[in-house]
Amino acid sequence: MIVPLAVIAATLVAAVLVPYGYPVKWLTVTMPLEELSPFAAIQVSAGVVAGALALAARRDSAPGVVAIVFALIGMLASTIMTGIAVKVFADGGLWTHVMVFVAPMAVAPVLAFNALRMRGWDRMLLLVGAFAIAALPYGCPLIPGMFNLFSGGLVYLAAWGTVLVLFVRGMTLRASYDTTGR
């Protein structure tokens, strides 16, 4: 999960191609550091968690408090920003958008709460999964403005998709480990 998290963190400063208009035109966009927004907490958290996971793996130990705190910060920032988007879409009567965004808002805090009751790498796996699910709406191409918010969304979407696949794979391996005892 380190590489996709690092890619998400890198989108804070990366220049990528952004799909724009119809027919689609490609624009190069950068997000200058002078214009930081609250959304940057998501990318900074991803970077810190990636670094903490790399250090923990190198030391052959479980991730520490820093990784846990920043995974929670990223998950909470994502959930709060999604809540704001849901309010705006609900006020505008855009119910398709509301339905897409409500599911991650419900699932991510439950996963995070359950993760905090665990220990070691199991806790980190669930926290990273909660973080990925909470921030999933920002890689959603259904909302062009949200999709383009994170340096184009394409790199961001690929990274989050990878994180989610790894999370699901880790959960299935964990479940098979629990049932077989190996």
Instruction: Tell me the average confidence (pLDDT) per consecutive run of 10 residues in the chain, 182 residues long.
Output: 76 62 65 64 84 84 86 87 82 79 85 87 85 77 56 66 77 67 55
* Nearest Cα residue to 67 out of 56, 81, 59: 56
In the chain, the N- to C-terminal Cα span, in Å, equals 23
Within 13 Å, how many C-alpha atoms sit on residue 145's CB side?
3
Tokens of 152: 């184009």
- In the prediction, which pLDDT does 7 show? 75
- In the prediction, which pLDDT does 94 show? 79
- E strand or H helix at 28, and its extent? strand 25-29
Core vs surface per residue 104-121: b (16+ CB within 10 A) or e? bbeebbebbeebeeeeeb
Q: Where are the alpha helices (DSSP H) in the chain?
A: 2-10, 40-59, 65-91, 95-116, 120-135, 144-149, 154-180
Q: What is the reported pTM?
A: 0.74
- In the prediction, which pLDDT does 119 show? 86
